[in-house]
Structure 1
Amino acid sequence: MSVMRPELIMKSIIPVVMAGIIAIYGLVVAVLIANNISDKLPLYRIVLVHTSYFCLSGLAAGFAIGIVGDAGVRGTAQQPRLFVGMILILIFAEVLGLYGLIVALILSTK
C-alpha cells in the first residue's frame, strides 16, 4: 500500500487494529476464567463452557477480519470507493468476537 498509494496508509491499518481488539477480548475472557477457577468447579466445565463459546467466535472473527482485511486493503489500493464496504464487513466480523465476549461474561456470572 505504501508503494502504490501512500495517502491511504492510515486507512490500511484499520484491519490490524480490529484484529487487536479481538485479542483484547481474549484477554478479558482469560481473566474471567482465571478468576472463576476454584476447587469446587470441575475443570471440564471451565474448559467446555467458557473457552468453547469464546474461542469459536474469536477464531471466526479473526479469520474473517484477516481475509476481509487482506482483500479489502488490496482492493482499496485499486479503487478507493471500496473502503466503506470493507469497513462495514470488518464491523460485522468484529461483532462475532463481541458476541463471544458477551456470552463469556454472562456465563462467568452464573
Structure 2
Amino acid sequence: MCVPLGCSYLFCRAFVTGLAGEGTLRTEDRAQAADRPLLPNSLCAIMAQILSIYGLVASVIIVNNTKEKMHTAFIHLGAGLACGLCGLAAGFAIGIVGDAGVRASTQQPRLYIAMVLILILAEVFGLYGIVVAILMITRSTMDVTRCRY
C-alpha cells in the first residue's frame, strides 16, 4: 500500500508539475528547451515505474508462501512494511528532487547530471527496502526462525 502512494506522489510531483511547468518558462528559455529532447525530463516517471516493480516483486514472493505458520506471516508482514515504507520514502524523495531538478535543469542544463546523481541516491532507498524484504522472506522459510509457542 505504501509503494503505490510513494509512486503516485512521485509521478504527480515530478512528472506533472515539472514537465507541465516547463511550458510556463520565459520565451528565451522556451526556445532553448525546444531544442532538447523531452526524454531526459521524464526520468522521474521512469523511476516511479521502477519503484512500483520493487513492490510487485516483494508481493509476488510473499504470495507464494501463503500456507505458512503464524510467525512466518508476521515476518512477511515486516518484509512488506520494509519494502513499502522504503518505497514511500524513495517516492517522496524522488518527487521533491525531480520537481526541483527538472525546473532547474530547464533553466540551467548543466544541473541535469547533478539531478540524476541525486535521483539515483534517492532510488537507493527503495532498493534497500526490497533487499531487506527479500532477506526477511528467505529467512522466514528457512529453519532459522522458530516459534516456541
Answer whether TM exceeds 0.5 for this pair: yes
Large movers: runs of 4+ above 3 Å: 41-45
CA contact (8 A) 1:8 1:77 kept: no
2:76–2:136 CA contact under 8 A, matched in 1: no
Alignment check: 8 A CA contact 1:37 1:46 kept: no
Q: Report the Cα distance in structure 2 between the residues aligned to 1:82 and 1:12, rounded to whole angstroms.
A: 12
- Residue 8 of structure 1, CA deviation: 4.1
Amino acid in structure 2 at the alignment position of 1:34: V
- Correspondence for 1:101 among 95, 120, 130: 130
3-state secondary structure, aligned to 2:70 = coil
Query: Structure 1 unaligned runs (5+)?
Result: none
Out of 57, 63, 76, the position equivalent to 2:86 is: 57
Partner in structure 2 of residue 38 of structure 1: 67
TM-score, length basis structure 2: 0.67
Gaps of 5+ in 2: 1-18, 24-29, 140-149
Contact 1:64 1:93 (8 Å CA) reproduced? yes
State the secondary structure of the residue aligned to 2:48.
Answer: helix
Report the count of equivalent residues: 109
Contact 1:22–1:58 (8 Å) recurs in 2: yes
With 59-68 and 7-16 compared, the bigger mean Cα shift is at 7-16
Residues 64-106 of structure 1: CA distance to partner in whole angstroms, max 9, x if unpaired? 1111111100111100011011000000011110011111111
Aligned pairs for 1:1-110 within 5 A: 1=19, 3=23, 4=30, 5-6=33-34, 7-42=36-71, 43-47=73-77, 49-110=78-139
Specify the code of the residue in structure 1 equivalent to 2:56.
Answer: L
2:75/2:136 contact within 8 Å kept? no
- For 1:8 and 1:73, the matched residues in 2 are separated by 13
Q: CA RMSD in A?
A: 1.5
Give the aligned residue type for 1:107. M
